[in-house]
Amino acid sequence: MPTTSLQQHLREAGYDLIDGPIRNHKPLQLWMKEGFNQPELYYADILHAFSSSKKLSITKDPGLDIKDTDKNEYAFQIGITMVQEWMQSIGMPPIDFSGAISGGKKVTISYRKAITELVPIGDLTDFLSDADFLHPNPVLLRNANRNNLLVITGVVTAEQLVADMETDSKINSKIINGLKKSANNKIEFSSTKNNTLRMVAGTGRFPVAVKANRIDFDKGRFNGLQLVTDGRDLF
């Protein structure tokens, strides 16, 4: 995946774009990452696994502001593939673009009405330093001591994805109307230039990027947090 303005902007703040088919990421979820396996949701909330006298809060991330002018640019077929996978991941109707556009030069993707929420690392460190399991749990202890636990500390969500597809041919009303019909009029299509098709889609707020930290335990004692989403694309 090419490193471009949106992706670099996210990585500099410790976030990675979500590539996978799952988009249910929320702050304070616990995920499990074993070896080379993909991370899997383990606990829907850290409070389902740990108790602590320290309080946790979710706030807006002051260091990350995503605008629709922050974009990623892709080669044409790669970009079309990414748009289709994104649509599948949020349960939108599949669109066969090949029937309307056979080829092109590039696809540019951006997001509208993005919000970034995070858990302050200092608060999370205080919470875990004082934490105990809710009840005896040998499986949780084993995963903690093996540093398999990831905690979601930040999530970027948006309301719409915008994809500009620069094609080899002219975009006319017939093409636009055909795509709208195939999407049951749930997706907006328009032409920004003679050969550029714009798609605007969204079904409520959806996760775009995630920040996660590995929880480091040493023989049952909390030993710190390590950022794992500054370019490793785990999610």
Q: Residue 99 gets which letter from DSSP?
A: G
Rg for the chain, CA atoms, rounded? 20
Shared-domain flag, residues 106 and 212: no
Q: What is the pTM of this model?
A: 0.90
- The pLDDT tens digits of the residues spanning 202-228 come to 878 999 999 999 999 999 999 999 999
Q: How many domains does the chain contain in total?
A: 2
Residue of 18, 140, 27 whose CA lies nearest to 90: 18
Taking the C-alpha atoms of residue 95 and residue 82, their distance in angstroms, rounded to an integer, is: 12
- HSE of 178 in the Cβ direction (CA atoms, 13 Å)? 12
Shared-domain flag, residues 83 and 23: no
Shared-domain flag, residues 106 and 89: yes
pLDDT at residue number 1: 47
Taking the C-alpha atoms of residue 89 and residue 24, their distance in angstroms, rounded to an integer, is: 10
Q: Which residues sit opposite 198 in a β-bridge?
A: 164, 190
Shared-domain flag, residues 95 and 175: yes
User: In the predicted model, is pLDDT for residue 4 greater than 80?
Assistant: no
Q: What is the dihedral of CA 69, 74, 79, 81, to 10 degrees?
A: -140
Shared-domain flag, residues 190 and 176: yes
User: In the predicted model, is pLDDT for residue 3 greater than 80?
Assistant: no
Poorest-pLDDT segment among 2-6, 106-110, 172-176, 186-190: 2-6
Average pLDDT of the chain, as a whole number = 92
Shared-domain flag, residues 13 and 80: no
The percentage of residues in the chain with a pLDDT greater than 70, rounded to a whole number, is 98
Shared-domain flag, residues 148 and 193: no
Strand spans (E) along 122-183 = 132-133, 149-158, 160-167
User: By residue range, what is the domain housing residue 52?
Assistant: 1-66+114-157+206-235
Shared-domain flag, residues 196 and 211: no
**Tokens 């889609």 appear where?**
201
Shared-domain flag, residues 108 and 171: yes
Taking the C-alpha atoms of residue 86 and residue 19, their distance in angstroms, rounded to an integer, is: 8
Q: Residue 116 gets which letter from DSSP?
A: E
Backbone angles phi, psi at 106, to 5 degrees: -160, 165
pLDDT at residue number 224: 96
pLDDT at residue number 130: 96
- Cβ neighbors of 177 (< 8 A, separation 6 or more) are none
- The pLDDT tens digits of the residues spanning 49-82 come to 999 999 999 999 888 889 989 999 999 999 999 9
Shared-domain flag, residues 92 and 11: no
Residue 225 amino acid letter = L
CB atoms within 10 A of CB 93: 12
Shared-domain flag, residues 35 and 61: yes
- The pLDDT tens digits of the residues spanning 122-158 come to 999 999 999 999 999 999 999 999 999 999 999 999 9
Taking the C-alpha atoms of residue 186 and residue 131, their distance in angstroms, rounded to an integer, is: 46
Q: Are 158 and 66 in contact (CB under 8 A)?
A: yes
Shared-domain flag, residues 165 and 61: no
